[in-house]
Amino acid sequence: MKDAQPNTVYLKDYKLPEYLIDSTKLHFELQPKGTLVKSQLKVRRNPAAGAGLPPLLLDGVELELLSVSIDGQLVPASRYQEIPAGLSIEVEKPEFELEICNRISPENNTSLEGLYLSNGMYCTQCEAEGFRKITYYPDRPDVMSKFTTTIVAPRQYPVLLSNGNEIERGATEDGRHFVTWEDPFAKPAYLFALVAGDLQRVEDSYTTASGRQVTLQIYTEAKNIGKCAHAMRSLKKAMRWDEEVYGREYDLDIFMIVAVDHFNMGAMENKGLNIFNSACVLASPETATDATFQRIEAIVAHEYFHNWSGNRVTCRDWFQLSLKEGFTVFRDAEFSADMNSRAVKRIEDVSLLRTQQFAEDAGPMAHPVRPDSYMEISNFYTLTVYEKGAEVVRMIHTLLGAEGFRKGSDLYFDRHDGQAVTCEDFVKAMEDANGVDLTQFRRWYSQAGTPVLDVTDSYDEASGSYTLTVRQSCPPTPGQKEKLPFHIPLALGLLSAEGKDLPLDEAGNTQLVLPVTEAEQTFHFSGFAEKPLPSLLRGFSAPVKVRYDYSSEQLLFLMRNDSDAFNRWDAGQRLAFAALGQLQKDYRNGKTLQLQPELVEAYRSVLRNRDLDPALVAKMLALPSEQTLAEEAERIDAEAIIEARKFARHALAEALKEDLLESYRRLHKDKPYSPEAADIAERSLKNTCLDYLCATEDADALLLAQQQFDKAANMTDCAAALAALVNYGNETDVDKSLETFYERWKLDTQVVELWFSLQSGSARWGTLERVQTLMAHPAFELKNPNKVRAVIGAFANRNFAQFHRTDGSGFEFVAQQVIALDKLNPQIAARLVIPLTRWKKYSSALGEKMRQSLESVMQSGKLSADLYEVVSKSLQ
């Protein structure tokens, strides 16, 4: 555990590394009790860092130091010092060979950072600062070195993997074996990886555009070997796409993926040896849902794309994290858009941004895409750095166009290949390649908060001219009271009364990207015979909130006619949002609730529209989530949100019953499973209909769900039916179905996780008492983050009703789990506490209960640096 009051690190304090490491030779001896690490480093004074020979400072955490040698001579203990951060060694010459031996205990490592064991298999996670838990090293991304790694292990670990190419293997005299790997590319320590275990693999090959053969391997426990095909297909698609769209080829002869059950996040892009959370790589039609298939495709691509955006060109320091993450998320989003439905992908990403990232930007942990300071870097792997960071890259793409953006990325990769660089270097490359000035645009990297655009318009009949006035503002965030205007690309279309796109300029363009750069600005258009209707922020061209006073009629019109699919969806969201707002008001005032008939009819015509992609129809039929409503509210009245949404769902279901049933029947096909976009689209609409039908709680509807559950040949249909039953079914029947399901799938880890989260995430089923029962279930494991996310995470993040119980017991429960988890895995504890941090936004009674839970975490004893940072900042 680290100090209770950890230091704050500032971007402005960045200094070049004092020493460089030209080569790194690692030697691991894996043993049941304690692993021995020997590290041999070629150290050289960094000429750019200044004169003299300051002490060599190496990072090290929880290491047992055994010996230090320089140029073959044991260094006496008087010439080095173990300090809280690691090791300080006196230096006498500008170049030398340093050898350090130390011991670690992977078998006791529950933080899942550094080297640890998962189901008897050794694996590593080094990003961001996990390498210092393996050996003493300058653990910072701007120190790049060529790694050679030897792993010695008992034969019960037949597979021994590390980065790069295998160069040697053999037996030791005492009956163990070893393998040596060499990575020809210099890399920072955070990209180091080691895996050792009894693993099986599937193998394939890929020929690059220039004709090189690459071996592709996916490693997993024997029981999961049949679940690797989709990941392998996704990998090959991603490799092709990066060649076609970015001109980037893979650069080693082998690319390996390993699936691991205990993993703090989704996956990790270690050079040549990606390590994945099992949940993000393993899938079969019988065990994985469509959502999982799509997630795997996206994450495999994301990690693969890092080979260029992250590994070949890496980050100078962790403040630049979005340099690789924002860019790579943008790349994987475009890949997914090309592989599936572009509009649906955009809607999903914007929904995530609006609910979670906007909330982060308005909360106590708000920070810019490039933060100025942090206590614990793990806490800054956030939606702001990833998702808003990707939006920032997308805006550059919008401003430069696809061709200009490609010129910029080519220059960026060529100019900085093999370097550790900054967000500034990325923007500069984009500017230089296109001869543009992005000075003002750079504020997106340094200013936190979600900008708001207030838009008004006027039409002059006499001249036929139309004027749009845009005012921008940005609320204060911690440490940033005042904001300067952003450069916001506002994509605009204007619709005629017939619903056609009107020409906006002399060239006849029907869509323009307006450069909003001032606090207040007007844009003039002319040549209109009547007042046009604006379609604003098409495709969500900037991560902002747009306010424009649309009438219900105008929104209905846009829902039907906008040529931009995203804005058709968004018009529906605005309409639903207004209706739900009215219902919340009526609920608070004790009035009888009634759903606006226009909303019902709008949903009916969407459902009847056969020209639309069924996946888009499913998205358009979904009411804004409770979390979205909470984010948009000035003050959160949890009860009103829950009751209003529940009422609206029920009312829609009753009114649309016949249409829903018709669509369900039409789409319920008996055909073999395929994760093709068209099939996924049909299943998503079908299961949306089923869920609405069950919301009526009619016996007929529940029977449909029961039949689908009994007969389903794929997990998508099975899980959707079970979810509907859990949410609306009769209690004893549901218990039986849950039991049947568990018995059928109890040996499959991923399905058991789904089974947990279906229950914990259900407003009806996941009561506190049931969640506590699930935690006592033999399949639950507090040391496994996936299980924690499936049970406690699903409750805190997706069970709005039960988590927000008015007695505050949901908050107290989560606080208790956070305290327990912090002793095992600080990163997971610090993420789980986030739902408790926005207490200031809640109505006073509930907000006070939330604050008290947070306070109880603070008072519980010594916290990890991770948890301390989040809790202390949230209590301020």
Residues 291-310 that bind ligand 7MF (CB under 6 A): 299, 302-303, 306
Nearest to 29, CA basis, from 131, 160, 136: 160
Say which entry of Zn ion, ligand 7MF, none residue 183 contacts (CB below 5 to 8 A, set by partner kind). none
CA pair distance 451, 488, nearest whole angstrom: 9
Q: List beta partners, residue 456.
A: 469
Say which entry of Zn ion, ligand 7MF, none residue 397 contacts (CB below 5 to 8 A, set by partner kind). none
Per CB under 6 A, which region of 47-55, 325-333, 340-348, 772-780 contacts ligand 7MF? Answer: 325-333
Note whether 376 binds ligand 7MF by CB under 6 A.
no
The arrangement of strands across the sheet holding 86-89 comes to: 56-59, 86-89, 80-83
Q: List beta partners, residue 466.
A: 459, 525
Q: Tell me how far, at minimum, the Cβ of 547 lies from ligand 7MF, in Å.
A: 30
Q: Which residues have a Cβ under 8 Å from the Cβ of 289 and sit 6 or more positions away?
A: 715, 716, 719, 720, 754
User: Of 241 and 587, which has the nearer Cβ to ligand 7MF?
Assistant: 241
Q: What is the DSSP-derived secondary structure letter of residue 86?
A: E
Note whether 335 binds ligand 7MF by CB under 6 A.
no
Binder to ligand 7MF among 265, 337, 512, 779 (CB under 6 A)?
265
b/e sequence 424-449, b meaning 16+ C-beta within 10 Å: ebbbbbbbebbeeebeebbbbbbbbb
User: Of 322 and 727, which has the nearer Cβ to ligand 7MF?
Assistant: 322
Note whether 380 binds ligand 7MF by CB under 6 A.
no
Residues 121-160 that bind ligand 7MF (CB under 6 A): 127
Say which entry of ligand 7MF, Zn ion, none residue 147 contacts (CB below 5 to 8 A, set by partner kind). none
CA dihedral 595, 596, 598, 600 (to 10 degrees): 0
Say which entry of Zn ion, ligand 7MF, none residue 242 contacts (CB below 5 to 8 A, set by partner kind). none
Say which entry of Zn ion, ligand 7MF, none residue 365 contacts (CB below 5 to 8 A, set by partner kind). none
User: Of 275 and 575, which has the nearer Cβ to ligand 7MF?
Assistant: 275
User: Of 140 and 302, which has the nearer Cβ to ligand 7MF?
Assistant: 302
Q: Tell me how far, at minimum, the Cβ of 834 lies from ligand 7MF, in Å.
A: 13
The catalytic residue among 129, 303, 360, 632 is 303
The CA distances from residue 497 to 533, 564, 616, in Å, are 8, 16, 24
CA angle 104/116/103 to nearest 5° reads 10
The CA distances from residue 151 to 127, 266, 384, in Å, are 21, 26, 38
Note whether 282 binds ligand 7MF by CB under 6 A.
no
CA pair distance 267, 299, nearest whole angstrom: 7
Say which entry of Zn ion, ligand 7MF, none residue 632 contacts (CB below 5 to 8 A, set by partner kind). none
Note whether 219 binds ligand 7MF by CB under 6 A.
no
Q: How crowded is residue 633: how many other Cβ atoms within 10 Å of its Cβ?
A: 17
Binder to ligand 7MF among 143, 194, 267, 815 (CB under 6 A)?
267
CA pair distance 81, 323, nearest whole angstrom: 35
User: Of 75 and 265, which has the nearer Cβ to Zn ion?
Assistant: 265
Tell me, by CB under 6 A, how many residues bind ligand 7MF. 15
Q: Tell me how far, at minimum, the Cβ of 185 lies from ligand 7MF, in Å.
A: 17
Q: Tell me how far, at minimum, the Cβ of 329 lies from ligand 7MF, in Å.
A: 6
Q: Which two tokens stand for residue 236?
A: 């090959």
User: Of 150 and 384, which has the nearer Cβ to ligand 7MF?
Assistant: 384
Q: Tell me how far, at minimum, the Cβ of 819 lies from ligand 7MF, in Å.
A: 22
User: Of 297 and 457, which has the nearer Cβ to Zn ion?
Assistant: 297
Per CB under 5 A, which region of 325-333, 358-366, 516-524, 845-853 contacts Zn ion? Answer: 325-333
The CA distances from residue 635 to 432, 595, 640, 750, 841, in Å, are 46, 23, 11, 38, 5
Q: Tell me how far, at minimum, the Cβ of 814 lies from Zn ion, in Å.
A: 27
Say which entry of Zn ion, ligand 7MF, none residue 127 contacts (CB below 5 to 8 A, set by partner kind). ligand 7MF
CA pair distance 383, 398, nearest whole angstrom: 21
Residue 757 contacts residue 799 (beta carbons within 8 Å): no
Binder to ligand 7MF among 29, 221, 269, 425 (CB under 6 A)?
269
Q: Which residues have a Cβ under 8 Å from the Cβ of 217 and sit 6 or more positions away?
A: 201, 202, 203, 204, 254, 255, 256, 257
SS3 (DSSP) at 169: strand
Residue with tokens 């690459």: 214
Note whether 241 binds ligand 7MF by CB under 6 A.
no
User: Of 127 and 632, which has the nearer Cβ to ligand 7MF?
Assistant: 127
Binder to ligand 7MF among 104, 252, 268, 854 (CB under 6 A)?
268
What angle do helix axes 614-621 and 342-352 make, rounded to 10 degrees?
30
Per CB under 5 A, which region of 70-78, 323-331, 429-437, 828-836 contacts Zn ion? Answer: 323-331
User: Of 312 and 568, which has the nearer Cβ to Zn ion?
Assistant: 312
Tell me, by CB under 5 A, how many residues bind Zn ion. 2
> Is omega for the bond preceding 128 within 30 degrees of 0, making it cis?
yes
Note whether 329 binds ligand 7MF by CB under 6 A.
yes
Per CB under 6 A, which region of 114-122, 137-145, 267-275, 718-726 contacts ligand 7MF? Answer: 267-275
Nearest to 572, CA basis, from 622, 615, 631, 636: 622
The CA distances from residue 866 to 243, 286, 691, 834, 870, in Å, are 39, 38, 39, 12, 7
CA pair distance 117, 168, nearest whole angstrom: 25
What track of x and - describes contact with Zn ion for positions 326 through 355 (by CB under 5 A)? --x---------------------------
User: Of 113 and 748, which has the nearer Cβ to ligand 7MF?
Assistant: 113
Q: Which two tokens stand for residue 344?
A: 């649906």
Q: Tell me how far, at minimum, the Cβ of 383 lies from ligand 7MF, in Å.
A: 9
What track of x and - describes contact with ligand 7MF for positions 89 through 128 (by CB under 6 A)? --------------------------------------x-
Q: Tell me how far, at minimum, the Cβ of 375 lies from ligand 7MF, in Å.
A: 17
Note whether 266 binds ligand 7MF by CB under 6 A.
yes
User: For the residues of 253-296, what is the DSSP string, one character each?
Assistant: SEEEEEEESS-SSSEE--TTEEEEEGGGT---TTT--HHHHHHH
Mark whether 325 is an active-site residue.
no
Note whether 800 binds ligand 7MF by CB under 6 A.
no
User: Of 330 and 566, which has the nearer Cβ to Zn ion?
Assistant: 330
SS3 (DSSP) at 577: helix
SS3 (DSSP) at 122: strand
Q: Tell me how far, at minimum, the Cβ of 370 lies from ligand 7MF, in Å.
A: 16
Scanning 515-564, the segments in alpha helix (DSSP H) are 552-561
User: Of 299 and 474, which has the nearer Cβ to ligand 7MF?
Assistant: 299
User: Of 302 and 442, which has the nearer Cβ to ligand 7MF?
Assistant: 302
Per CB under 5 A, which region of 11-19, 319-327, 493-501, 518-526 contacts Zn ion? Answer: 319-327
Note whether 831 binds ligand 7MF by CB under 6 A.
no
CA pair distance 830, 837, nearest whole angstrom: 11
The CA distances from residue 649 to 484, 621, 643, in Å, are 42, 10, 10
C-alpha of 143 from chain center:
27
CA pair distance 649, 646, nearest whole angstrom: 5
The arrangement of strands across the sheet holding 114-118 comes to: 114-118, 121-125, 194-197, 159-162
| Chain positions contacting ligand 7MF, by CB under 6 A | 127, 265-269, 299, 302-303, 306, 325, 329, 332, 381, 386
Catalytic residue ranges? 303
| Chain positions contacting Zn ion, by CB under 5 A | 325, 328
